[in-house]
Amino acid sequence: MNIVVIRWLVALSALITLTTYLFFSFSAPKKPVNSARSEAPINLKNISAQLIQPIPEPTLSSQELNIAKLGMQIFLDPNLSSNNRVSCESCHHIFDNGAENRQVSLGVQGLGARNSPTVFNVSHNSRFFWDGRLLAWKHKWMVQFTIH
């Protein structure tokens, strides 16, 4: 017989032997006859409620509250932009969804290249801007004033 045919027959018999072994050695898990635990359906709502907890609402001291009020005034003030017409809230609608409902944001120079990300829960972010070029929140306001 030809050597190629012999190799094919050996490979085929090895494949059949392995398939037969796997077929007969694995079976469905067996359930115990007297199961003490009831088989209740899995409730995904309860599981997700346990895994995903709401972010706790911060409690602010009077000094922190004053800083937050100042931050809100700065956020809403269009006079800080280069054309005195665009505030942070122009793109980051904090009274609606934290971003804007546009594909591409309008800045002081007109149509931009990206849309504005939401500012909701931004204190929990580790990177800022879409490309992640800013790692610290405390420097973001300086970058924004120089861009706009």
The average pLDDT across 17-29 equals 82
pLDDT in tens, 78-106: 998 888 888 888 888 888 888 888 888 88
SS (H, E, C) the chain: CCHHHHHHHHHHHHHHHHHHHHHHHCCCCCCCCCCCCCCCCCCHHHHHHHHCCCCCCCCCCHHHHHHHHHHHHHHHCHHHCCCCCCCHHHCCCCCCCCCCCCCCCEECCEECCCCCCCCCCHHHCCCECCCCCECCHHHHHHHHHHHC
Q: Does pLDDT of 24 surpass 60?
A: yes
What pLDDT band is residue 137 in, cutting at 50, 70 and 90?
A: low
Say what the pTM is.
0.52
Single-letter amino acid code for the residue at 104 = V
- The pLDDT score that the predictor gives to residue 100 is 84
Give the pLDDT confidence score for residue 53 in this predicted structure.
77
Cβ-Cβ contacts under 8 Å for 22 (sequence gap 6 or more): none
d(CA 143, CA 134): 9
Mean pLDDT (the chain, rounded): 78
